[in-house]
Amino acid sequence: MKDWKLKLKYGQLTTPFRHFTAIADGLVGQLEEGFDCRPGKAYMGMKTWATDTGECADMIKVIGEQIGFTVTGKIEIFETEPKEPPGENPHGYDIKFTPYGDE
């Protein structure tokens, strides 16, 4: 459905969730298939539909652990424009890793 953004904007589509982008500082270990980053220090970025910033922070920690990333530092959260429509449950998508340091 291409017009979901308009329906959301004008109240024809409602959701209890808000859209965020979270960026977490941490360590990449053995990543699950489908994700790519060298082991070591990295930032994990993820878009989320969540009820609030606390739930968004919990999501990046839990999802990160499930795919091989451990949050060890700061988590920054920004309210952003969505690229995917909301669902019936909170969820994360568009996960990306950016390595840093000389490891």
Q: Does residue 37 sit within a domain?
A: yes
Q: Does residue 72 sit within a domain?
A: yes
What is d(CA 21, CA 85) in angstroms, rounded to the nearest whole number? Answer: 14
Q: Does residue 38 sit within a domain?
A: yes
* pLDDT bracket for residue 2 (50, 70, 90): low
Q: Note the pLDDT tens digit of each residue in 23-81.
A: 999 999 999 999 999 999 999 999 999 999 999 999 999 999 999 999 999 999 999 99
Q: Does residue 1 sit within a domain?
A: no
Predicted local distance difference test score (pLDDT) of residue 65: 97
Domain count, the chain: 1
Predicted local distance difference test score (pLDDT) of residue 103: 56
Predicted local distance difference test score (pLDDT) of residue 8: 82
Quote the longest CA-to-CA distance of the chain: 50
Q: Does residue 73 sit within a domain?
A: yes
Three-class secondary structure of residue 55 per DSSP? helix
Q: Does residue 10 sit within a domain?
A: no
Domain that holds residue 63: 16-99
Question: What's the whole-model pTM score?
Answer: 0.90
Neighbours of 76 (CB within 10 A): 12
Q: Does residue 60 sit within a domain?
A: yes
